[in-house]
Amino acid sequence: MQCKIVKVFCNCKYWKGMVMNMYYIVFDLEWNQSPEGKDFSKVDLPFEIIQIGAVKLNEKFETISQFNRFVKPTVYHTLHKKVGELLNVTIEDIIDKGGYFVDIFKEFIQWCGNSCVFCTWGNMDLTELQRNMKFYNIDYQFDKPLLFYDVQKLYSLCFQDGKQRITLQHAIEQLELPQIEGYHSADNDARYTAQVLSLINMEKVGTFYSVDTFYPPMTRKDEIHLDFGLYEKYISKGFASREIAAGDREVRSCKCFRCKKPAKRIIKWFSTNNKAYYGLFQCEEHGLIKGRIRIKCSDSGQYYAIKIMKLTDETGAQYIKNKQNKEREHRKMVKLKASKEQKQ
C-alpha cells in the first residue's frame, strides 16, 4: 500500500531558543506488539501504532485544538497482554473506532498545519511514527534535520539536574497538577505533556532541542553540527560498518567547537567495549574539552556516529582519565585470562 501526501511541514525557525510564529504539536502514540513475544515480531514493524493523540498549542502555550484517533491493526490482531492492561481497551474497541494508518496519518499531518514543531515525552514516538510510515510506504518526508522538543529532557533541564529522566506521571505529581484522567492513553498523555510544557521556562531551556535520527544524514554535506553553548552535537552520515564509522577522519576529529581550531590531544580516543569512545582535548583559547562518540545503527542498516564535544574542567578531565585507566585494567585482565587458558 502506498500513499502520496502533499508536504505541509515547514522548517523550524529558532531565534534565541524560541519558536516564532509556530504551533507546538504535543503528541503521544500507543502501540501494540506481538502477543507471542519478541521472537514472533515482524522485523520491519516490531511496534504497530494503534492510537495517535495530540494537542496543538499556540506560541503562548494555549490549547487551540486536539486530535485523537485509533488505528486499525493490520499486523498484530491480538493485543499483547501488558498493552491491553495498560491501555484498558480491547482490540474490538480499536477496530470498531479506528481507521487505517495511512488515512489517520494523512488526517494527522493536515491537522498539524503548515508551521509547527513536534513535542514528545521522550524520544521514541517520532522513531515509531516514521517506522510505521516506512512500513506502509507513505511517500512523505519530514524536513532534515528533524528537530523536536523532548519535553522529558526539557523538564529535567528546567526542574532537575539535566541528566535524570522521570516518567510523565512522576512529573505531573512533582508539579502538583490535577490527575483527573488516567495514563497510557495517547490523548490523555498528550494533554499531560502539554501541561508540563506550558510550565517550562523556554527562555532558559528552549535552545536544547533534540534531533531525530531515524534517517541519518545521507552525505557529508548533510551532516549535522548543533552548538548548544557549552557543548556541540555532531551527527555523521551513514557508513557500511561500525568499524568504518568509528575510524572516519571527521568522526575522530577534535576541533574546538567554539573557535573551530584544532585542539591538542591529551587522551586520544579510546573505546569501552566498542560501544562508546572517549577522549580529552585542550584548546589554547577555551580550555579543556571532553569528547564522547557513540556508534549507532539506523533502521536501514547503516552505521552513524553521534559525537558530543563539551567544555569541561579538571573534574571532568579526571573522569575521562579514570575511565581510561579502568579500561586499561580491564584489557590487562582479559589478556591475562586468555594467556592462562592457552597454557592450560
Flag the least confident range among 10-14, 106-110, 147-151, 339-343: 10-14
User: pLDDT band at residue 17, thresholds of 50, 70 and 90?
Assistant: very low
Q: Is 207 exposed, middle or buried (0-12, 13-18, 19+ CB in 10 A)?
A: middle
> Which tens digit of pLDDT belongs to each residue from 138-157?
988 888 889 999 999 999 99
Of all residues in the chain, the percent with pLDDT exceeding 90 is 78
Tens-digit pLDDT profile for residues 228-287: 988 999 999 999 999 999 999 999 999 999 999 999 999 999 998 777 999 999 999 999
Alpha helices in the chain (DSSP H): 81-87, 91-97, 101-112, 124-135, 151-159, 168-174, 186-198, 202-205, 242-247, 249-252, 314-343
Q: How confident is the model at residue 20 (pLDDT cuts 50, 70, 90)?
A: low
Chain position carrying cell 519530514: 142
Contacts of 286 (CB under 8 A, 6+ apart): 256, 258, 259, 311
Q: Residue 21 has what pLDDT? A: 67
Mean pLDDT, residues 170-190: 94
Residue 101 near residue 71, CB atoms below 8 Å: yes
Mean pLDDT value across the chain: 91
Q: How confident is the model at residue 342 (pLDDT cuts 50, 70, 90)?
A: confident
pLDDT (0 to 100) of residue 338: 82
pLDDT score for 32: 96
Domain boundaries, the chain: 3-211, 216-334
Q: What superfamily does domain 3-211 belong to in CATH?
A: Ribonuclease H-like superfamily/Ribonuclease H (3.30.420.10)
- Whether 9 has a pLDDT exceeding 90, the answer reads no
At residue 6, does pLDDT exceed 50? no
**How far is the C-alpha of 165 from the C-alpha of 93, rounded, in Å?**
33
Predicted confidence (pLDDT) at residue 86 exceeds the cutoff of 90: no
57 contacts 198 by C-beta, under 8 angstroms: yes
What is the DSSP code (8-state) at residue 220?
Answer: G
DSSP per position, 280-304: EEEETTTEEEEEEEEEEE-TTS-EE
Q: What is the number of other CB atoms lying within 10 angstroms of the CB of residue 182?
A: 12
Spatial contact of 216 and 298, defined as CB atoms under 8 Å apart: yes
Chain-centre distance for alpha carbon 318: 29
**pTM for the whole thing?**
0.87
pLDDT category, 304, cuts 50, 70, 90? very high
